[in-house]
Structure 1
Amino acid sequence: MFEAVRFLWNATRGHRLSPWRSEYLRWRLETYTGKPAGEVQPRDFWDLFWSDKRQFFRFMAWIGEIKSYADGKSID
């Protein structure tokens, strides 16, 4: 879980309290939804998070899994 928090901390650098302003997250929203990054509003960010929260949490779990592989640890 620590790796997921670290990812979010790094992905929102400079925009911790307003993640929809993060250039990285706006770019990811653009590639995921097709909506131009310049048009992303706070509501778009939260709507996407709410509608795809299960996939978001799977992604967060995957980050921890990848980190454990990189560290040479077994996740069994």
Structure 2
Amino acid sequence: MLLEAASDGDVDLLKRLVRLLDGGKGCLAEAVAGMLHLTAGAGELAVCRYLVEEFRVDVNAIYNEGRSF
């Protein structure tokens, strides 16, 4: 559901789901980092902005076999 909201560009639903999953702990940055690639590929700028600004996702991070976002 989280990935679907991200790829659909549904920022409001994504925010609600992230809050539910986090339970107020504030440690979901690692979990949502993988969504940046998905949302960027789908052209969902609003979701990308949310992930980078809210979770400080590193757009220069290396993932899967040395590729970056």
Q: TM-score, normalised by structure 1?
A: 0.27
Structure with bigger strand share is 2
Q: Which has the higher helix share?
A: 1
